[in-house]
Amino acid sequence: MPHLALLLTTFIWAATFPATKLALVQSPPLVFLELRFLVSVVVVGGGILACRYALRSDFETLRAAAISSAFLLVGYVTQTVGLQETTASNSAFITALYVVLVPLFMGRLTRRLWIALTLAVAGLWLLVRPFAGVNAGDMYTLACAAAFAMHIISIERFSRRTDPASFTFWQLVMVTMALMPAGLGWGLPSLSVAMTPTFLTALFITGALATGVAFVVQVWAQAHVPAQRVALIFALEPALAAWLAWLVLGEYMHAVAWLGSALIVAGVLMGTCSSFSAELGKVRPAAHPAK
């Protein structure tokens, strides 16, 4: 059952790429993000209230949430803006590079990691094909992968010092508040966005399912599944996103792009194994969610 739950979680995360792509046809990126995080705050906050959980709002918790939410904000803004210029498939594969960037940024360098980086960079080169003209959307998405890597690092640093539920909730609130001025700059959402069934479905997938329900499922499932197996399941995300982009959006990838995507997935898998091996060589820390 936990393995199936993790597969469903990965499928939901993969579905956010074509869903966001469709939503951006009807909405400016920052307005969509504002609404997405507002929905996630309502869903997660409602769950906390239903469980009668006492949120912490001490200085350390709010400080940790503020630092982590800054990386989360940059990650989602660059990813969403990038999706206007690149395909959902490219966005998914490039975003997955955060798995390799995390140990690189943390200085956990091994021979396996260098091989993983070589594969990932070669795959990125083939995927974005810079010789055919650099796509600004791909570059934004590369910045997104770096921001998400820093967000994961910040979570590793702060999650052991704070209450996880409060830490997560305040991050969502802070990102929502940070996006509000930019969203209002485009006018009231009700005036600037047509609340069509497609747009509402995209909000439900990205806000309620991906940021709300999937996070809860992940935390529950990781208590029953080894970390290395979780990482292998999550590595399916870009491949699933590419399949959904083909099915829903009709996106087509050339053979060279598929080869680049395969190299990125190989690098991600090897980078995940490298990170896990590095952790085994140290004193085991307290368990915490990987993503």
**DSSP per residue over the chain, as a string?**
-HHHHHHHHHHHHHHHHHHHHHHTTTS-HHHHHHHHHHHHHHHHHHHHHHTT------HHHHHHHHHHHHHHHHHHHHHHHHHTTS-HHHHHHHHTTHHHHHHHHTT---HHHHHHHHHHHHHHHHHH-GGG---HHHHHHHHHHHHHHHHHHHHHHHTTTS-HHHHHHHHHHHHHHHHHHHHHTT--HHHHS---HHHHHHHIIIIIIIIIIHHHHHHHHTTTS-HHHHHHHHTTHHHHHHHHIIIII-----HHHHHHHHHHHHHHHHHHHHHHHHHHTSPPPPP----
Per-residue b/e over 197-222, b at no fewer than 16 CB within 10 Å? eebeebbbbbbbbbbbbbbebbeebb
Terminal CA-CA length for the chain: 20
- Contact assessment for residue 116 and residue 267, using Cβ atoms and an 8 Å cutoff: yes
Query: The pTM is what?
Result: 0.83
State which amino acid sits at residue 213: V
Residue 104's Cβ-side half-sphere holds a number of Cα atoms within 13 Å equal to 20
Tell the burial category of 139 from Cβ atoms under 10 Å away from its Cβ (0-12, 13-18, 19+): middle
* CA angle 154–160–164, rounded 5-degree value: 85
CB atoms within 10 A of CB 228: 14
**pLDDT of 288:** 37
pLDDT along the chain (291 residues), means of 10: 81 92 88 90 90 89 93 94 91 87 81 84 78 78 92 82 85 92 58 79 92 72 62 77 88 83 82 59 41 39
- Contact assessment for residue 7 and residue 237, using Cβ atoms and an 8 Å cutoff: no
CA-nearest of 109, 95, 217 to 149 is: 95
* Domain boundaries, given as residue ranges, for the chain: 2-280
**pLDDT of 230:** 64
Pull the structure tokens for residue 182: 């930019």
